[in-house]
């Protein structure tokens, strides 16, 4: 076997980094081709090439599934994403971002914070884009494939390598369909979905491994402010949409009322991800429209509950901005569905023809959503000024594993072995960031999703979720992978011993024991 040593695994991770698999670039395709070529070269797949399959996403990216039969049809699914975020944050050193060995040495010469400097000087970390998130885990998955093929395990294994986790999860949304295909092709019984995202430490001094049995959800809530445009000198006749939007951002940003606490775990409060007016160029006319997108994380709250809370907040904003304008204007709040019904009632087929002609680019959901809304608002100007509440893809359902014997066994064995290796372990219900675990099963009733579908302009019009396949493959989820720090930062790094020796060794031991 070629990847079973710490040194070989580190080398493989470095080779994966060299693929420069930045989201939405050719590197995403090249890294899947690299993985497929490396795995196909293993003697096991010379005789079993049909156990590997490259699949296409709707936007023509590629992913790869690998099947290793065990002594039973009961199957554990491992998964990881191959894409990484861009490297603009590396500044003048961007050319070194995908050269971990050279970059690790270069970092020592740069101005660093206390804790990053300490890690750099320790020689315990490998720096570089993708080292932590999550190409070291991808290398570990490839090592596990080689191990399972040679060792012969009780459980069957399926490995899923997907693109676009850092975007809108095209990879996993198609990956769910691929898992359904693999299940039918080989008559498998899925028992556990094991995601291999790295541990995300909660503080610079936090060295605990984390085992997660669920993942937080996400709603990307949008608010468009529709004002009354006029010449900047005619302020008594105008309502500035940019000002309207500022009230929304002020009241929603870091609003703890939208945080959620479950079993001692807490989601981060909302944060503004995008905000702008929609003027195409400078002029002395006040902005007629402005919009913002707000990241809202969930655990148990439903889209309906979130929508109700957002509407209450927007009603408060409408009152506040009305007072700012000394009550010269009456500000209202609408949902997309309500505006649609208003426009259809008033304009009928003329409206339907216009709204159906809006061009949707599935690769640019933000601007496609804005185009739809701006067209819709043309037919609702008689209602201005107002706020319109909407949602923009992607949507991540929250997922939490129910009590399950296999999940409990794996979690307990992992924790026990890590503690025996003198490693600190924390088990958590929810992975704190977003992950592809969200699409394994559907723990929310489809009826609860109606308000989300009705107010997401691109739903079934460039964006959708494979609900039937999600239900079909539902299984407990677990996340445990490598260990690193500063994901998505130029100081991104992975702990060498924990990631290339401890984690893979313990995972292989656990797989052998049941």
Q: What is the pLDDT of residues 289-336, one digit of tens each?
A: 999 999 999 999 999 999 999 999 999 999 999 999 999 999 999 999
Question: Model confidence at 232, in pLDDT bands (50, 70, 90)?
Answer: confident
CA torsion sign for 342, 348, 354, 355 is positive
Task: Please tell me the predicted confidence (pLDDT) of residue 260.
Answer: 96
User: What backbone torsions phi and psi does residue 281 show, to the nearest 5 degrees?
Assistant: -160, 170
Q: Comparing 74-88, 198-212, 232-246, 259-273, which segment has the lowest mean pLDDT?
A: 232-246
Task: Please tell me the predicted confidence (pLDDT) of residue 230.
Answer: 81
For the domain covering 217-391, report its CATH number.
Answer: 3.30.70.360
**Whole-model pTM over 0.85:** yes
Rounded CA-CA distance 8/247 in Å is 55
Task: Please tell me the predicted confidence (pLDDT) of residue 153.
Answer: 96
198 neighbors 137 (Cβ within 8 angstroms):
yes
Mean pLDDT of 383-409: 94
| Site of tokens 């296999």 | 406
20 sits in the region (left: phi over 0; alpha: psi -120 to 50; else beta) called: left
Higher pLDDT, 252 or 284: 252
Rounded CA-CA distance 492/484 in Å is 8
**How many residues are given for the chain?**
514
193 neighbors 184 (Cβ within 8 angstroms):
no
397 neighbors 462 (Cβ within 8 angstroms):
no
Identify the burial level of 354 via C-beta atoms within 10 angstroms of its C-beta, where 0-12 means exposed, 13-18 middle and 19 or more buried: middle
Task: Please tell me the predicted confidence (pLDDT) of residue 75.
Answer: 98
Q: What is the pLDDT of residues 65-97, one digit of tens each?
A: 999 999 999 999 999 999 999 999 999 999 999
Mean pLDDT of 497-509: 98
| Site of tokens 């201005």 | 384
Rounded CA-CA distance 183/249 in Å is 46
264 sits in the region (left: phi over 0; alpha: psi -120 to 50; else beta) called: left
Boundaries of every domain in the chain? 6-215+403-440+475-512, 217-391
Mean pLDDT of 474-502: 97
Q: Which two tokens stand for residue 294?
A: 């707000």
Question: Model confidence at 100, in pLDDT bands (50, 70, 90)?
Answer: very high
Angle at CA of residue 216, ends 212 and 437, nearest 5°: 65
Question: Model confidence at 236, in pLDDT bands (50, 70, 90)?
Answer: confident
Question: Model confidence at 430, in pLDDT bands (50, 70, 90)?
Answer: very high
Q: Is the peptide bond before 394 cis (omega within 30 degrees of 0)?
A: yes
User: What backbone torsions phi and psi does residue 417 show, to the nearest 5 degrees?
Assistant: -70, -35
Mean pLDDT of 24-46: 97
221 neighbors 294 (Cβ within 8 angstroms):
yes
Beta bridge partners of 162: 81
Task: Please tell me the predicted confidence (pLDDT) of residue 445.
Answer: 82
User: What backbone torsions phi and psi does residue 384 show, to the nearest 5 degrees?
Assistant: -60, 145
265 neighbors 429 (Cβ within 8 angstroms):
yes
CATH superfamily of domain region 6-215+403-440+475-512: Zn peptidases (3.40.630.10)
Radius of gyration in angstroms for the set of CA atoms belonging to the chain, rounded to a whole number: 25
Task: Please tell me the predicted confidence (pLDDT) of residue 41.
Answer: 97
CA torsion sign for 146, 151, 152, 154 is negative
Question: Model confidence at 446, in pLDDT bands (50, 70, 90)?
Answer: confident
Task: Please tell me the predicted confidence (pLDDT) of residue 433.
Answer: 81
pLDDT of 235 over the 80 cut: no
Q: Which two tokens stand for residue 329?
A: 């204007």
């Amino acid at each position: 076997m070629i990847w079973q040593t710490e040194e070989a695994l580190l080398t493989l991770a470095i080779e994966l980094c060299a693929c420069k698999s930045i989201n939405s670039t050719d590197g995403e395709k090249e890294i899947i081709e690299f993985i497929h070529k490396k795995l196909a070269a293993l003697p096991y797949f010379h005789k079993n090439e049909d156990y590997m399959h490259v699949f296409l996403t709707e936007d023509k990216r590629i992913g790869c599934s690998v099947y290793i039969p065990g002594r039973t049809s009961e199957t554990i699914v491992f998964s990881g994403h191959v894409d990484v975020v861009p490297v603009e944050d590396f500044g003048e050193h961007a050319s070194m971002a995908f050269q971990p060995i050279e970059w690790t040495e270069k970092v020592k010469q740069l101005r660093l914070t206390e804790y990053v400097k300490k890690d750099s000087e320790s020689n315990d970390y490998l720096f570089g884009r993708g080292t932590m998130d999550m190409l070291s885990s991808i290398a570990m998955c490839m090592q596990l494939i080689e191990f399972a093929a040679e060792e012969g395990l009780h459980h069957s294994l399926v490995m899923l390598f997907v693109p676009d986790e850092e975007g809108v999860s095209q990879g996993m949304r198609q990956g769910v369909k691929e898992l359904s295909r693999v299940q039918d092709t080989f008559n498998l019984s899925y028992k556990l979905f094991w995601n291999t995202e790295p541990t995300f430490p909660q503080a610079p001094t936090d060295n605990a491994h984390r085992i997660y049995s669920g993942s937080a959800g996400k709603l990307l809530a949008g608010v468009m402010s529709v004002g009354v445009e006029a010449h900047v000198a005619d302020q008594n006749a105008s309502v500035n949409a940019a000002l309207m939007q500022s009230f929304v951002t002020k009241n929603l940003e870091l609003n703890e009322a939208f945080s959620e606490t479950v079993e001692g775990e807490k989601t981060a409060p909302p944060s503004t991800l995008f905000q702008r007016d929609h003027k195409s160029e400078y002029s002395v006319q006040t902005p007629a429209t402005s919009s913002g997108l707000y990241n809202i994380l969930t655990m148990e709250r439903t889209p309906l509950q979130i929508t109700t809370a957002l509407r209450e907040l927007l009603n408060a904003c409408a009152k506040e901005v009305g007072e700012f304008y000394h009550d010269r204007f009456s500000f209202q709040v609408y949902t997309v569905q309500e505006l649609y019904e208003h426009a259809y009632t008033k304009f009928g087929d003329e409206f339907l023809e216009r709204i159906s002609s809006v061009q949707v680019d599935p690769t640019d959901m933000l601007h496609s959503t804005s185009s739809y809304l701006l067209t819709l608002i043309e037919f609702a100007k008689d209602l201005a000024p107002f706020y319109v509440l909407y949602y923009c893809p992607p949507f991540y359902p929250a997922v939490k594993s129910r009590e399950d014997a296999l999940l409990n066994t794996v979690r307990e064995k992992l924790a026990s072995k890590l503690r025996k290796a003198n490693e600190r372990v924390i088990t958590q219900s929810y992975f704190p960031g977003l992950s592809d675990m969200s699409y394994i099963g559907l723990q929310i009733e489809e009826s609860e999703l109606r308000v989300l579908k009705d107010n997401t302009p691109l739903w079934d019009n460039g964006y959708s979720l494979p609900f039937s396949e999600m239900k079909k493959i539902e299984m407990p989820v677990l996340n445990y992978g490598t260990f690193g720090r500063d994901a998505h930062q130029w100081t991104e790094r992975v702990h060498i011993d924990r990631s290339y020796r401890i984690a893979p060794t313990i995972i292989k031991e656990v797989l052998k024991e049941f």
